[in-house]
């Protein structure tokens, strides 16, 4: 039995982290914390620090909205509901309001204590906070709301005012410490192996099993050797392998050694299907469990994947049931409904095009070359008109590649995926590399490709746009330093309806200052937690003194900006860390220069 640890230790670290924007300092605070934590609760500490109680793919949510939280505060402090609401409005933060109300209550209580009443404080332990949060999340069905309120109130009653602040922020999904996964991995490596070098091993394990709490536990109990042995498991999603992009068939073939297998790049939603007997789970590109939205796709996997256990990947695409033609990606969004799934299935039927196979009946295929993985896939897939292998062709000349691309576009695809036939073409989980290269239609923009950017702030609109945002401040991701660097302001491409919805959509992400992971020279009117990803096109990439993307990389004292950017669509399937990287923007800039110089 290990000793327990007080929640206030965690809260002190949160406070320090909140005050710094430096990643090295954040890492140092975490290292100090992790070293102090009793080994059997390291997983709980890691989850709580991520603002969670379990990995995202489990899909366990607190189900506590602001109103419910306020009821719990009222119950815990004995202050009436109206006053709680007034305090929340005044301070603009439920956590701060709870902290204030509790501290005035505690003052009264200590006065009683002073006057001779018995007064015992029971310090909150991390286990108690964590276990109660789990209970709150698990309370469902009839009476769940009351259960959640009384569980939360019981915690708050025993919490110190500052602890209450963080408990509420956690439960409302607003912890927002600005700590990225990468920082946690660095801190784990330093705390338990003494050097940052172990990060690589930890990251590989995290790609195969994206559960930071579990990995931390293995690291602490079995060491780095234990982490090396972490395997893929049916039912637990694997971080997807991603593609690089190149602009011409010649460049693609040169990179892939003169030949490749080209496949249609379908404009749908990537799914990773985990099959175990009759049970099928579907995970999205960002590892969200989307099983409930696609019972038809699950049935296709169940009936047509001839293996007891398998992990396969494919693209779910909306189709026209009368003609079998492919329909655009946007149609799939109608399938993300909680209710009336039957109706949605009928109105927006789908097909699946399979393209990879990561695991079959006990065998991990991720370290086998693509050519072999495909053989496994062909072996276990029984094709029908609704589930097929992605259409493909072996290519050995730029002309063939171009023709195949034209054909893909004509059939409603986004372009093609060119995949390496080399023996080293393993499944690079969580990595964007040149073993897969995409060749895409460019939406008639002059940019070689569209980019996916993260909204980090906004500017109020004027005139016709008064009351909503005039433009959003958009950023690319810099994985090296784990920050988002601005690259343009997007104001066009939105419909009136889109525009009207913007403030409400961003409401949950508003913060009073620039987020610690955002690098910007521009002062936005409103700042956001980097969360929402949008696909953007533009005329060209230029040097800019205003934007921080690639600052000083191409030219001293200048960054890169996208000129005439235009919003194309939201990318709910991407996390902010999946956005286009600073390096990719630099590459797009260089390619464009080469082309103008040549021609």
Smaller CB distance to ligand ATP: residue 100 or 285? Answer: 285
Provide the 10 A C-beta neighbour count for residue 78: 10
Of 35-43, 261-269, 554-562, 588-596, the window that binds ligand ATP (rule: CB under 6 A) is: 261-269
Smaller CB distance to ligand ATP: residue 14 or 266? Answer: 266
Smaller CB distance to ligand ATP: residue 211 or 315? Answer: 315
- Provide, rounded to whole angstroms, the least separation between the CB of residue 270 and ligand ATP: 3
Annotate 240-275 with three-state secondary structure.
Answer: CCEEEECCCHHHHHHHCCCCEEEEEECCCEEEEEEE
Which run of H or E residues covers position 497? Answer: helix 496-506
- Provide, rounded to whole angstroms, the least separation between the CB of residue 417 and ligand ATP: 4
Give the span between the Cα atoms of 283 and 56, in whole angstroms.
Answer: 11
Listed in sequence order, the residues at least 6 apart from 434 whose beta carbon sits closer than 8 Å to its beta carbon are: 244, 255, 256, 420
Asked if residue 418 binds ligand ATP (CB under 6 A), the reply is: no
Smaller CB distance to ligand ATP: residue 355 or 528? Answer: 355
Asked if residue 271 binds ligand ATP (CB under 6 A), the reply is: no
Give the span between the Cα atoms of 212 and 50, in whole angstroms.
Answer: 9
Q: Are 325 and 402 contacting, i.e. CB atoms less than 8 angstroms apart?
A: no
Q: Which of 7, 29, 283, 355 binds ligand ATP (CB under 6 A)?
A: 355
Smaller CB distance to ligand ATP: residue 408 or 560? Answer: 408
Q: Are 66 and 93 contacting, i.e. CB atoms less than 8 angstroms apart?
A: no
From residue 216, alpha-carbon distances to 26, 163, 186, 210 in Å are 18, 24, 11, 11
- Chain mean position to CA 41: 25
Residue 569: which of 533, 521, 520 has the closest Cα? Answer: 533
Q: Which of 52, 285, 485, 489 binds ligand ATP (CB under 6 A)?
A: 285
- Provide, rounded to whole angstroms, the least separation between the CB of residue 245 and ligand ATP: 7
Asked if residue 243 binds ligand ATP (CB under 6 A), the reply is: yes
Q: Which of 135, 157, 375, 438 binds ligand ATP (CB under 6 A)?
A: 438
Q: Which of 87, 163, 211, 263 binds ligand ATP (CB under 6 A)?
A: 263
Q: Which of 352, 390, 451, 474 binds ligand ATP (CB under 6 A)?
A: 390
In the window 287-346, what residues touch ligand ATP (CB under 6 A)? 315
Q: What are phi and psi of 147, to 5 degrees?
A: -60, -45
Smaller CB distance to ligand ATP: residue 185 or 243? Answer: 243
Q: What are phi and psi of 107, to 5 degrees?
A: -60, -45
Applying CB under 6 A, the site for ligand ATP has a residue count of 14
Asked if residue 129 binds ligand ATP (CB under 6 A), the reply is: no
Smaller CB distance to ligand ATP: residue 263 or 482? Answer: 263
Smaller CB distance to ligand ATP: residue 296 or 535? Answer: 535
In the window 531-560, what residues touch ligand ATP (CB under 6 A)? none
Which run of H or E residues covers position 181? Answer: helix 181-193
- Provide, rounded to whole angstroms, the least separation between the CB of residue 271 and ligand ATP: 9
Q: Which of 23, 199, 270, 517 binds ligand ATP (CB under 6 A)?
A: 270
Asked if residue 417 binds ligand ATP (CB under 6 A), the reply is: yes
Asked if residue 577 binds ligand ATP (CB under 6 A), the reply is: no
Identify whether 265 is a catalytic site residue: yes
Binding mask 223-242 for ligand ATP (x = CB under 6 A): -------------------x
Of 52-60, 98-106, 264-272, 486-494, the window that binds ligand ATP (rule: CB under 6 A) is: 264-272
Of 7-15, 79-87, 120-128, 257-265, the window that binds ligand ATP (rule: CB under 6 A) is: 257-265
Asked if residue 266 binds ligand ATP (CB under 6 A), the reply is: yes
Nearest-CB residue for ligand ATP: 270
Asked if residue 203 binds ligand ATP (CB under 6 A), the reply is: no
Annotate 5-18 with three-state secondary structure.
Answer: CEHHHHHHHHHHHH
Q: 3-class SS at 174?
A: coil
- The encoded tokens of residue 5 equal 């640890």
Give the span between the Cα atoms of 371 and 375, in whole angstroms.
Answer: 7
- Provide, rounded to whole angstroms, the least separation between the CB of residue 535 and ligand ATP: 7
CB-facing half-sphere around the CA of 594: CA atoms within 13 A: 11
Q: Which of 52, 160, 265, 275 is catalytic?
A: 265
- The encoded tokens of residue 326 equal 């492919």
Place of tokens 């969004």: 333
Q: What is the DSSP string of 280-323?
A: EEEE-TT--B-GGG-HHHHHHHHHHB-SSEEEEEEEEEEB-TTT
Q: Which residues bind ligand ATP (CB under 6 A)?
A: 242-243, 263-266, 270, 285, 315, 355, 390, 417, 438, 452
- Which are the catalytic amino acids? 265
């Amino acid at each position: 039995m290990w000793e327990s640890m007080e929640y206030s230790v965690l809260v002190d670290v949160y406070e320090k982290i909140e005050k710094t924007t430096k990643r090295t300092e954040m890492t140092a605070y975490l290292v100090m914390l992790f070293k102090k934590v009793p080994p059997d609760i390291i997983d709980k500490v890691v989850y709580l620090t991520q603002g969670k109680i379990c990995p995202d793919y489990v899909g366990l949510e607190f189900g506590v909205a602001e109103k419910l939280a306020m009821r719990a505060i009222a119950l815990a402090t004995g202050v009436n509901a109206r006053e709680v609401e007034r305090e929340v409005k005044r301070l603009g933060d439920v956590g701060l309001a709870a902290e204030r109300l509790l501290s005035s209550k505690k003052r009264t209580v200590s006065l009683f204590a002073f006057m001779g009443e018995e007064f015992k404080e029971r310090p909150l332990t991390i286990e108690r906070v964590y276990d109660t949060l789990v209970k709150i999340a698990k309370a469902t069905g009839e009476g769940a709301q009351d259960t959640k309120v009384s569980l939360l109130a019981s915690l708050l009653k025993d919490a110190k005012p500052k602890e209450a602040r963080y408990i509420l922020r956690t439960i409302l999904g607003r912890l927002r410490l600005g700590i990225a996964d990468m920082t946690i991995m660095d801190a784990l490596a330093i705390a338990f192996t003494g050097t940052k070098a172990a990060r690589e091993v930890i990251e590989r394990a995290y790609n195969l099993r994206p559960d930071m709490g579990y990995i931390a536990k293995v690291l602490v109990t079995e060491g780095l050797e234990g982490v090396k042995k972490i395997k893929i498991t049916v039912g637990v999603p694997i971080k997807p392998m991603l593609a690089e992009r190149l602009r011409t068939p010649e460049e693609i073939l040169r990179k892939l050694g003169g030949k490749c297998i080209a496949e249609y790049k379908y404009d749908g939603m990537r799914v990773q299907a985990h099959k175990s007997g009759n049970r099928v789970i579907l995970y999205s590109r960002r590892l969200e469990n989307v099983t409930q939205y696609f019972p038809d796709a699950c049935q296709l996997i169940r009936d047509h994947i001839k293996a007891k256990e398998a992990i396969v990947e494919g693209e779910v695409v909306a189709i026209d049931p009368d003609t079998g033609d492919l329909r655009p990606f946007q149609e799939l969004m109608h399938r993300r409904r909680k209710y009336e799934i039957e109706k949605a299935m009928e109105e927006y039927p789908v097909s699946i095009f399979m393209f990879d196979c990561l695991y079959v009946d006990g065998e991990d295929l991720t370290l086998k070359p693509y050519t072999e993985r495909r053989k496994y896939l062909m072996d276990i897939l029984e094709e029908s008109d609704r589930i097929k292998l992605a259409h493909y062709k072996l290519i050995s000349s730029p002309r063939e590649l171009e023709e195949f691309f034209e054909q893909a576009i004509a059939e409603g695809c986004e372009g093609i995926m060119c995949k390496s036939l080399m023996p080293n073409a393993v499944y690079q989980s969580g990595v964007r590399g040149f073993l897969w290269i995409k060749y895409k239609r460019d939406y008639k923009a002059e940019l070689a490709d569209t980019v996916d950017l993260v909204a980090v702030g906004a500017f109020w609109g004027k005139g016709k746009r008064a009351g909503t945002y005039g433009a959003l401040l958009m950023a690319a991701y810099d994985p090296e330093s784990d920050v988002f660097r601005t690259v343009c302001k997007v104001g066009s491409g939105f419909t009136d309806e889109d525009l009207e919805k913007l403030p409400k959509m961003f409401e949950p992400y508003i913060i009073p200052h620039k987020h610690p992971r955002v690098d910007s020279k521009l002062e936005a009117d409103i700042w956001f937690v980097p969360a929402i990803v949008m696909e953007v096109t533009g005329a060209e990439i230029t040097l800019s003194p205003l934007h921080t993307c690639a600052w000083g990389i191409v030219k001293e004292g200048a960054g890169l900006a996208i000129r005439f950017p235009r919003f194309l669509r939201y990318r709910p399937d991407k996390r902010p860390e999946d956005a286009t990287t600073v390096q990719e923007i630099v590459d797009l800039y260089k390619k464009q220069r080469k082309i103008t110089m040549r021609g």
